[in-house]
Amino acid sequence: MKHRIIFIQLFLRLTIATACLSAVADRFGLWGIYGIKYVDWGNWLNFLKYANSVNSYAGKGLGNVLAIIATLLEIVMPLLLLVGYKIEIASIASGILMLLFASAMTYSFGIKPSLNYSVWTSAAACFALTSFSQYFFCLDNLLKNKFK
């Protein structure tokens, strides 16, 4: 049973983190230029256009700020999950970010796109990660043991 718990929580941490970092890589062109198969944005300007359409309720200025904040969070939170530092806080923050994204997508485009992109599922995965009483292979454990 313990091995299953270790696998599940590591799998959640890795998949949440890599999904977020992959989206960030796309908006900075690291997966290639726009027009290549599986590249959604390919650069920051294309991402800003998309972010402003998702945040259709906000003006362009606020939409740009929201895009920057989301990008920063989508870099920091996954890195915290990967190294295993403040996992519960990073999971909650990531879950809230996914809920906000899913809500904005639903408001701007309707429910289907947010379901197709599994944004609600991503939020659920983030919150599920907080249900573990112990985390394995993480910086939190190393620090806790070092300062005992």
Domain total for the chain?
1
Residues 63 and 131: their CA atoms lie apart, in Å, by: 33
pTM of the prediction?
Answer: 0.92
Residue 102: C-alpha distances to residues 70, 93, 123, 125 (Å): 13, 14, 8, 14
Predicted confidence pLDDT, tens digits, the chain (148 residues): 788 999 999 999 999 999 999 999 999 999 999 999 999 999 999 999 999 999 999 999 999 999 999 999 999 999 999 999 999 999 999 999 999 999 999 999 999 999 999 999 999 999 999 999 889 999 998 888 776 6
Nearest to 19 by CA among 83, 87, 94: 94
Residues 89 and 43: their CA atoms lie apart, in Å, by: 30
User: Residues in the chain, how many?
Assistant: 148
Please give the residue range of the domain that contains residue 23. 2-146
Task: Give, as one character, the DSSP assignment of residue 39.
Answer: -
